[in-house]
């Protein structure tokens, strides 16, 4: 069941990212270059780390990487701050269905974490908070 939910979460978030890219190309939204460049660097570091270490194995090495993961979540949040500020000031420039889809994906990811160690909840919970905030600021609280 976890694999099906994980696949659905991945499909939803990929769809959201494609929509976001299309929104950018169509000039419907204007992303924060600092945020998105920083996120791309963090994703590459994570991908390379998982390839080198054969995925996340729960060991002392994994605990060390989990600690680094906490720092990555903090870095991710700091890199996301310019987008949050921009969405607060100019919600129409960040209004994209991709935030809604990313929020849905985070909920599914949290569902998969049930029964696992608390460290697994950290990033999906952060994504739910971040993307949910973006939905709130760009879709729900539009009257400014």
Residues 111-136: tens digit of each pLDDT: 998 988 777 788 889 999 999 999 99
More confident residue, 60 or 82: 82
pLDDT given at position 50: 61
Over range 17-46, report the average pLDDT: 84
Q: How far apart are CA 142 and CA 60, in angstroms?
A: 47
Q: Considering only CA atoms, which of 134, 128, 90 is closest in space to residue 109?
A: 128
**Sorting pLDDT into bands at 50, 70 and 90, what band is 37?**
confident
Q: How far apart are CA 11 and CA 84, in angstroms?
A: 25
Residue 35 near residue 134, CB atoms below 8 Å: no
Residue 101 near residue 15, CB atoms below 8 Å: yes
Q: pTM, whole model, 2 decimals?
A: 0.75
Q: Considering only CA atoms, which of 41, 20, 36, 37 is closest in space to residue 93?
A: 20
Residue 35 near residue 83, CB atoms below 8 Å: yes
Q: How far apart are CA 106 and CA 7, in angstroms?
A: 12
């Amino acid at each position: 069941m976890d694999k099906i939910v994980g696949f659905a979460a991945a499909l939803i978030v990929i769809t959201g990212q494609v929509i976001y890219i299309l929104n950018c190309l169509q000039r419907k939204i204007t992303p924060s270059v600092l945020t998105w460049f920083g996120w791309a660097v963090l994703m590459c570091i994570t991908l390379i780390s998982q390839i080198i270490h054969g995925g996340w194995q729960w060991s002392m090495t994994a605990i060390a990487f989990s600690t680094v993961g906490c720092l990555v979540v903090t870095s991710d949040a700091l890199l996301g701050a310019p987008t949050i500020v921009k969405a607060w000031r100019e919600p129409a420039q960040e209004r994209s269905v991709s935030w809604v889809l990313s929020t849905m994906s985070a909920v599914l990811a949290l569902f998969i974490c049930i029964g696992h160690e608390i460290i697994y909840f950290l990033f999906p919970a952060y994504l739910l908070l971040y993307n949910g905030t973006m939905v709130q600021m760009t879709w729900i609280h539009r009257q400014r």
